[in-house]
Amino acid sequence: MPDIKTFQIKGMHCASCANIIEKTFKKTEGVNSVEVNYGTETAKISFDESKINSSDLSKKIEPLGYSLVSSVSTAKEMGMNEEEHAQHLGLNQSKQEKLDELQRMKRGVWSIIPLAIISIFSMAWDIFSRLNWVSPVPVLLEDIFRFILPLMATYSLFVIGKPYLLGFYRFLRYGKANMDTLIGIGTSVAYLYSLIVIFFEERLRGFIDVETNYFDVTIIVIAFIALGKYLEARSKLKTGDAIEKLLNLQAKTAIVIKDGKEMEIPVEEVKRGDLIIIKPAGKIPVDGVIVEGLSYIDESMVTGEPMPAEKKAGDGVV
């Protein structure tokens, strides 16, 4: 019988990644269906455990730069409360890993931004001098630029741009392309062309313009992409925190009447037809219809209306 599980996925950073993972799993024997969500970084997979397990599934995508973290089970299924469930699944640890990754990205961005500024300055001066808008670049400064730009480009490509080089490598080996592949190809070609121009300047002088190289392009492209990824990761983390806080506002338990007695049970155990008691200032645990009583209920979280709404018997609540 097919088993349906939800896994967290590490390594996704664009919609193309989700598409690659889906196609890879769909070609795997034993997998019936798969849905990959880039926004939540999860994959819902229906598979036959007699043919393949979660470890084998992870190995299918690890060469492509991704991995399955763990299946996500509910607290009820595991016989735990919410806090124990989060600790068991390592959800807090996962968030800490994201914070650590964000700090690593921030350090990378701060290290390459000054290099990008120098490159933009060098590029702009060269362009404006050719248009006779400013005086030509002094020979000494031009020699300095010719010396430091290759060094800065090397750092940018092989340190900050390492993920993009890996994307290029995986494309060559496995034929799977994503956003990193395009960046890796573009920056690598610009860097290699510039190196060839420097090392074989005299031999190539009669064929191409050896006075022009593209080290600055390599630096600037990687800098802007790294900055964009950092801002995206920071925004996703903040959005996740906001959603988590919103979910925490939801009632976790409900007071129901069973056999004439009031019992407090988890919301997940509430069944259709149960009679629920809402205490003063209490939260509405589930959707329902009022059978007795009159009160004002705060529905701002659902409707956005700031003022409490009057509710009486026969009215629906959410």
260-269 confidence digits (pLDDT tens)? 888 888 888 8
pLDDT at 94: 63
Q: How many domains does the chain have?
A: 3
In this structure, are 112 and 223 located in the same domain?
yes
Give the residue numbers spanning the domain of 263: 253-317
pLDDT at 81: 52
CATH number for 264: 2.70.150.10
Distance from C-alpha of 144 to C-alpha of 149, rounded to nearest angstrom: 8
Would you place residue 49 in the very low, low, confident or very high pLDDT band (cuts 50, 70, 90)?
A: confident
pLDDT at 88: 43
Looking at the DSSP assignment, which residues form a beta bridge with residue 135? none
CA atoms 283, 287, 292, 297: torsion sign:
positive
In this structure, are 233 and 267 located in the same domain?
no
137 located within any domain:
yes
165 located within any domain:
yes
In this structure, are 11 and 150 located in the same domain?
no
258, 265 Cβ separation under 8 angstroms: no
38, 20 Cβ separation under 8 angstroms: no
Label residues 63-72 b or e (16+ Cβ within 10 Å = b). ebbbebbbee
Distance from C-alpha of 266 to C-alpha of 287, rounded to nearest angstrom: 15
212 located within any domain:
yes
pTM for this prediction? 0.69
119-153 confidence digits (pLDDT tens)? 999 889 888 988 889 888 888 888 888 899 999 99
In this structure, are 269 and 126 located in the same domain?
no
pLDDT at 207: 87
199-247 confidence digits (pLDDT tens)? 998 888 888 888 888 999 999 999 999 999 999 888 888 887 777 777 6
Final residue of a structural domain among 221, 246, 271: 246
pLDDT at 71: 53
